Amino acid sequence: MSGGKACNCPESKKPISERNWIVPGLKCNYSYFGHPKGGWKRSEYSQVKCKSCEATWRTKSDYVFKLKKV
């Protein structure tokens, strides 16, 4: 995993398909260091958010394809 604080609540113990996690950004990044500022850029990382504990993190893992996209 890379970036952010990953979920450690009871959701993280459930099977992937049952977790209350969403993917706000699949294989992308919104960076203010590039051009245009804050613009969409392709990335190896996806953003994941737990809707139970509000933890948000970025990961390269393939489990993101099994989660609900926003």
Total-model pTM:
0.81
How long a stretch of residues is the chain? 70
State residue 32's pLDDT score.
Answer: 72
**What range does the domain containing 6 cover?**
2-69
Number of domains present in the structure of the chain: 1
Residue 23 makes CB contacts below 8 A (sequence gap 6+) with 46, 47, 48, 49, 64, 67, 68, 69, 70
Per-residue pLDDT of the chain (70 residues; tens, 9 = 90+): 467 889 999 999 999 989 999 999 999 987 777 677 777 788 999 999 999 999 999 999 999 999 987 7
